[in-house]
Chains A and B, each alone.
Chain A
């Protein structure tokens, strides 16, 4: 097989992986700070995708233009969810948290089914069939825009945590919960802010994902699982790890499908996960418990 085929497929996997990574970044941020695993993560992404579909159907608004407004809506949803529903469960056993979030996920899936029905819906932008030719490399324009947007959003999130007071306060909460309380930080508000930021990430990822795939209400659980695979591979709680995990999973699926059987490409993603769990249980960029 010509080398450019591998290159084309690898670039395609890389770009898709960046969007996967942004989605998983939200999960990693939430877990890293709030210590709650968001089992409704994929479902929140489908909500963002449906917002994009509805806005496109009604007003022909490009999902990339809507990226920030959709992220803002998901931020509000995440903030309210954390303050109203999840906060009382913060100190409860993990199985209680699990049941709560699974219940929220089920409500979301069924709510979407009631509102939008079971059929696949998509967004047909004017660039949906475009591609760029760079020598032998043919890059899908939609994936290129989505991948670039994912990098910008991830960079903005990194900058927020690194350079803003609120970001530093959130990191302080994550590093030392008791210390954060002692110095007078409003931990409950910071947790809600963090959950909102994680939800905003998944909202932005959803706005981009709708350019790549059709959306159906039952899509959520598959992407919740994918987000888990990515953050466990990259390192649970590590932001850079989530992005790296996304890219690795995206490229593994693409190249695995090309080299072996395309219908079994998910198998390669899970194979990578098993290898990571065997040889580096904390994930590639995760911190060792010791």
Chain B
């Protein structure tokens, strides 16, 4: 070793090494993760999801939609997005704080946040700071009824979900030649659950359904024991369950149904939980049977096949679902608007989003287009049923890949 090289290596003291490593760590921790590396400045997109807390399972599932977006956006020759991850911790107040923090750290557009309560808080921050928010999943109608200029929702509102759900239920029961006479409506007692409960009274009478609601049972979304709720539902003598739930509670309710030896003729879910992969994997044979009436993907669209292939490659064995579809589409909207705006200026971005007209997409319906309120009012839902760990589309007829199994096979006859 020469004197020069010795001097040079001597300069690298433990202190300077530690300082360098610390600086590198800080840099690595704060540098946004690029999902694409094409030319030009990437749009900084803050993706807020419940990655921990009671909704962690769903938040992490939405994240899969983020992970598979890069390749498809690149194929579409859309600009790069630099993803800045934010965890709402399944908490409204934390959501607000995280949104503010992401904006202060340079986020030029926000995406999120699965939950209506959390999204409402983020929408207020986005509007106040003048940063566009593209909602991936959140159904409470008031979010797009406030006259906000920077908030856009590519997800159906609660009345839209209910309207399609009841239409699909009618179609399924007409085809089966039998139907439940009464149901118990169980819902999470949060912003989404309450919006759905309020919507049912207005929407249900329009569909002349065969069943009446024998009892409405609200429960805590963070509940760890739902035995009382299920006992109360069973005691009504209703045929079926009409559900608005999340993931953990859907699993708790299924466990209680088995333990309390009650198999309803149908579980009709109008929200998340019952079709999630974690539900299917955890409960195995006991997961079969529930039908979910949810915003879904059109299997005939080219981009649906592309998204399915990307998910299968990145996460083998995971079924494509609402979480992936709508989180992906939120990023698609962001990249498309950024390309057309030609600038990361928030106002230019918001104007570009407002003028969105994407027909090459994934969700059911003619495409992505926003009305004056920032709502995509053209989305349609589907009915899907859990069968052997997979999801099959059972309504509407135009998109169905299988006939609905009704009534459900009793839990004690599943081997």
B-binding residues in A (CB < 8 A): 1-2, 5, 8-9, 12, 16, 117-120, 124, 128-131, 133, 138, 140-141, 212-214, 216, 218, 253-254, 257-258, 261-263, 265
Please list 7 pairs of residues, one from A and one from B, whose beta carbons are closer than 8 Å in the complex, sorted by A's number: A5-B234, A9-B228, A117-B52, A118-B56, A128-B255, A262-B219, A262-B220
Known: A130-B259, A258-B228. 7 other contacts (CB 8 A): A5-B231, A5-B232, A5-B235, A141-B259, A214-B224, A218-B53, A263-B189
Please state if A1 and B235 are interface contacts (CB–CB under 8 Å).
yes
Residues of B within 8 A of A16 (CB): 225
Residues of B within 8 A of A141 (CB): 259
Residues of B within 8 A of A258 (CB): 228, 231-232
Please state if A129 and B258 are interface contacts (CB–CB under 8 Å).
yes
Does any Cβ of A come within 8 Å of B217's Cβ?
Answer: yes
Closest to A253 in B: B228
CB distance from B403 to the nearest CB of A (A): 29
Does any Cβ of A come within 8 Å of B218's Cβ?
Answer: yes
* Interface residue from A117, A131, A138, A263 paired with B219 (Cβ < 8 Å): A263
A130 vs B231: C-alpha distance when bound (angstroms): 16
* Interface residue from B189, B218, B220, B225 paired with A212 (Cβ < 8 Å): B225
Given contacts A12-B227, A129-B255, A213-B225, contact A118 B53 (CB under 8 A): yes
CB distance from A14 to the nearest CB of B (A): 12
Residues of B within 8 A of A2 (CB): 235
Please state if B52 and A262 are interface contacts (CB–CB under 8 Å).
no
Please state if A262 and B228 are interface contacts (CB–CB under 8 Å).
yes
Residues of A within 8 A of B51 (CB): 118
Please state if B229 and A131 are interface contacts (CB–CB under 8 Å).
no
Closest to A219 in B: B224
Please state if A214 and B259 are interface contacts (CB–CB under 8 Å).
no
Please state if B260 and A138 are interface contacts (CB–CB under 8 Å).
yes
A108 vs B352: C-alpha distance when bound (angstroms): 49
Please state if B261 and A138 are interface contacts (CB–CB under 8 Å).
yes
* Interface residue from B228, B234, B235, B255 paired with A265 (Cβ < 8 Å): B228
Given contacts A129-B286, A138-B261, A212-B225, contact A120 B56 (CB under 8 A): yes
CB distance from B52 to the nearest CB of A (A): 3
CB distance from B237 to the nearest CB of A (A): 9
Residues of B within 8 A of A5 (CB): 231-232, 234-235
Interface string of B219-262 (1 = CB under 8 A from A): 11001111111011011000000000000100000010011110
Residues of A within 8 A of B224 (CB): 212-214
Residues of B within 8 A of A262 (CB): 217-220, 226, 228-229, 232
A-binding residues in B (CB < 8 A): 51-54, 56-57, 89, 189, 217-220, 223-229, 231-232, 234-235, 248, 255, 258-261, 282, 286
Q: Binding site of A, secondary structure by majority: helix, strand, loop or mixed?
A: mixed
A89 vs B56: C-alpha distance when bound (angstroms): 39
A255 vs B220: C-alpha distance when bound (angstroms): 16
A262 vs B252: C-alpha distance when bound (angstroms): 15
A5 vs B227: C-alpha distance when bound (angstroms): 11
Residues of A within 8 A of B225 (CB): 16, 212-213
Please state if B259 and A263 are interface contacts (CB–CB under 8 Å).
no
Given contacts A129-B255, A131-B259, contact A118 B52 (CB under 8 A): yes
A85 vs B145: C-alpha distance when bound (angstroms): 56
A3 vs B296: C-alpha distance when bound (angstroms): 43
Residues of B within 8 A of A212 (CB): 224-225
Closest to A128 in B: B255
A9 vs B228: C-alpha distance when bound (angstroms): 6
Closest to A2 in B: B235
A119 vs B59: C-alpha distance when bound (angstroms): 11
Closest to B247 in A: A120
Residues of A within 8 A of B259 (CB): 129-131, 138, 140-141
CB distance from A264 to the nearest CB of B (A): 8
Please state if B218 and A261 are interface contacts (CB–CB under 8 Å).
yes
Please state if A140 and B261 are interface contacts (CB–CB under 8 Å).
no
Residues of B within 8 A of A138 (CB): 259-261
A12 vs B225: C-alpha distance when bound (angstroms): 11
A160 vs B54: C-alpha distance when bound (angstroms): 40
* Interface residue from A128, A130, A257 paired with B229 (Cβ < 8 Å): A257
Closest to A124 in B: B282
A129 vs B57: C-alpha distance when bound (angstroms): 22
Residues of B within 8 A of A117 (CB): 52
Please state if A9 and B231 are interface contacts (CB–CB under 8 Å).
yes
